[in-house]
Amino acid sequence: MAEEVQVFGYRSGSFSRRIELALKLKGVDYEHIEEDLLNNNKSDLLLKYNPIYKKVPVLVHNGNPISESVVILEYIEDTWKHNPIFPEQPYDRAQARFWAKYIDDMVVPAMQKASLSKEEEREKAIEELHKKFEPLENELKNKKFFGGDEMGVVDIVGFVFAGWIPAIEEAVGFKLLNHKFPNLRKWIDEYANHTVAKQVLPEKDALVIFIKNVSLKRKY
């Protein structure tokens, strides 16, 4: 019996793309089911599969739903052992989980705040974001990816800024990541040229339009 793998997601949302990237790196076929989140039009199936948080992404594997992107990534790793996205050694796996949590807890909120900041708040918001970027810049050092020569779970979680920062900068008209972060800039370039990641990265022009629309909705 063939496996049934579905991803309930939102193509303009970075958290759903994490799951798609992980599945593609594993070579797992899946069906993407698009949710209309921009208009807050959530399907009955999404609410059925994720009744607690009522949000994407949700992975449904042979009828069994799993929600929360990092939890889903761990499930993917445990279910499909080939092409690992987590390190093999326990300490290294713990470190990868730490940085994944750091990105979600510290970097994502700071990035959202800076992106949507008003002019009088902008300098302080960007300064706070840069403080959050500094540990990641130091962690990357001279590595191609956080996972080394190949993408790993920290790189996948980092999709939220690897795929979005260039588009956000164009949409809002100011830099989020400057010359002080050459390792992160190089990493974003490596991401954009990665054979598998390119299949999942959003089209920049469309994303710029989406970000501008979201900004207008939040502004008014």
Per residue in 126-159, pLDDT (tens digit) is 999 999 999 999 999 989 999 999 999 999 999 9
For residue range 47-93, list pLDDT tens digits in order: 999 999 999 999 999 999 999 999 999 999 999 999 999 999 999 99
pLDDT, mean over the chain: 93
The ranges assigned to domains in the chain are 5-79, 90-217
Q: Identify the CATH number of the domain defined by range 5-79.
A: 3.40.30.10
Q: Report CA-CA distances (Å) from 115 to 121, 131, 171, 180, 186.
A: 11, 15, 9, 18, 21
Distance CA 145, CA 73 (A): 17
Kindly indicate the confidence band of residue 217, based on its pLDDT and cuts at 50, 70 and 90: low
Peptide bond into 84 cis (omega under 30): no
CA 5 to chain centroid:
20
* CB of 73 closer than 8 Å to CB of 20: no
Q: Distance (Å, rounded) from C-alpha 179 to C-alpha 182?
A: 6
Q: Report residue 178 CA to chain centroid gap.
A: 20
Instruction: Say if residue 24's pLDDT is above 80.
Output: yes
Supply the pTM of this predicted model.
0.93
Residue 103 contacts residue 158 (beta carbons within 8 Å):
yes
Please state, in angstroms and rounded to a whole number, the distance separating the CA atoms of residues 211 and 167: 8
Beta bridge partners of 65: 60
Which CATH code fits 90-217? 1.20.1050.10
Q: For residue 163, give the DSSP letter.
A: T
5-79 matches 90-217 in fold: no
Q: Flag whether pLDDT at 114 surpasses 80.
A: yes
Question: What are the C-alpha distances in Å from 16 to residues 68, 149, 156, 173?
Answer: 10, 24, 11, 26
Region for residue 174 given its phi and psi (left: phi exceeds 0; alpha: psi -120 to 50; beta: otherwise): beta
d(CA 18, CA 213): 23
Three-state DSSP state, 35 = coil
Among 53, 12, 9, smallest CA distance to 34 is for: 9
Burial class (CB in 10 A: 0-12, 13-18, 19+), 48: exposed
